[in-house]
Amino acid sequence: MIDLRSDTVTRPTAQMWEAMRAAPLGDDVLGDEPTVQALELKVASLLGQDAALFVPSGTMANQLAIRTVCEGGDEILAHRESHIIHYETGSPAALSGCMISPLDGLGGVFDADAVRGAIRHRDQHAPLSRMLVVENTCNRGGGTVWSVEQFASVATAARVGGLHLHIDGARLMNACVALGVGPRDFTSHADSVSLCFSKGLGAPVGSALAGSHACIARARRFRKMFGGAMRQSGLLAAAAIYALDHHVARLAEDHANARTLAAGIAEVAGLTLEGTAEKIPTNMVFFRVKSALGSAQAFCDRLREAGVLALALSSDRVRMVTHLDVSTNDISHARAAIASTAKSSKAGA
């Protein structure tokens, strides 16, 4: 099976297993997990923040930022397509009592005017505008990358408006590799940052939240409250350290594979690629299935029989994601499987 459902599906490489096996372990809740502490220092330095906290998932990293910064009744500004709105089970409301004001903009990107326009007047009637979340890359936006300039202008609007700026950087390293910049080009403007090790970086489990000393100390308490404090988690942190050391630059291969995959999809009658193949920003490819071929889910079911897994996101939209466990050769096979599945779907319809 060529699994293009998500970049979360990767298995540890032999060398990553070796790093996990060799890691010195302790008890992180008792404060003596050397490998977790090494990872937290490494992430803080990579992102130019005071401190970092290792957590089980990207959702927990985002929700700890929200719980740490916001009070019940506060409002968070985020793009209408953002992960915190669509894929975190309503947790800003459930865990922190917050509402979200959705911002508009193409591909998951908005401008400073959108931020300024959404900040409320301080008045007893209005929720308090407390936080801005910028997702980079933006998943539902198409794996889109923020330009450093646009990000900086939005960051300025947030600062002037008194908002805490949180980067949902689940795939921040994909954005950095795509642009050829370092993470600090973005994170130096931010008050907190989440980063996933279990996406394109290829670790099996784990994310981090980085921020000021005060923010991370508070987040550490809420991590315990949310049930995310772990014990010999150095086992997982070792995989994350290995991923940061060895799997960042290679993200460029995933991006090249995504463009090759997209070029194949663009040629298939009955499928409509979103965007242009040469301009696929990172490792995600989205396309629409025309009704003559049946629903997106039916198309994915038939594609599965041809040995390729993809995700149907709606009645006609499909997502494919390239990653560490998909080779250039796999992409050629996937292209052939997609073309033959579309052809037979048409014949069958």
Ligand X SMILES: *Cc1c(COP(=O)(O)O)cnc(C)c1O
| Residue among 81, 168, 191, 254 that touches ligand X (CB under 6 A) | 168
Instruction: Give 27 or 325: the residue with its C-beta nearer to ligand X.
Output: 325
Contacts 24+ apart (CB under 8 A), 255-258: 255/174, 255/177, 255/178, 255/280, 255/281, 255/282, 255/283, 255/322, 256/328, 257/283, 257/322, 257/326, 257/328, 257/331, 258/143, 258/282, 258/283, 258/284, 258/285, 258/320, 258/321, 258/322
Q: Which span sits near ligand X by CB under 6 A: 40-48, 56-64, 177-185, 336-344?
A: 56-64
| Residue among 67, 83, 164, 247 that touches ligand X (CB under 6 A) | 83
The Cα 165–Cα 191 span in angstroms is 5
The Cα 208–Cα 54 span in angstroms is 5
Q: 156 in helix, strand or coil?
A: helix
The Cα 323–Cα 326 span in angstroms is 6
**CB 25 → ligand X: shortest distance, Å?**
23
**CB 168 → ligand X: shortest distance, Å?**
5
Instruction: Give 200 or 234: the residue with its C-beta nearer to ligand X.
Output: 200
Strand pairing report for 74-79 and 99-103: parallel
Instruction: Give 65 or 262: the residue with its C-beta nearer to ligand X.
Output: 65
195-224 residues in contact with ligand X (CB under 6 A) are: 196, 199, 207
Binding flag, residue 40, ligand X (CB under 6 A) = no
Q: Is the backbone peptide bond immediately before 13 cis, with ω within 30 degrees of 0?
A: no
Instruction: Give 207 or 282: the residue with its C-beta nearer to ligand X.
Output: 207
Q: Which amino acid is at 219?
A: A
Instruction: Give 91 or 341: the residue with its C-beta nearer to ligand X.
Output: 91
The Cα 245–Cα 5 span in angstroms is 25
The Cα 98–Cα 237 span in angstroms is 31
**CB 89 → ligand X: shortest distance, Å?**
10
| Residue among 13, 37, 57, 295 that touches ligand X (CB under 6 A) | 57
91-150 residues in contact with ligand X (CB under 6 A) are: 135, 139
Give the CB-nearest residue to ligand X.
58
Which residues are at the interface with ligand X (CB under 6 A)?
A: 57-59, 62, 83, 135, 139, 168, 170, 196, 199, 207
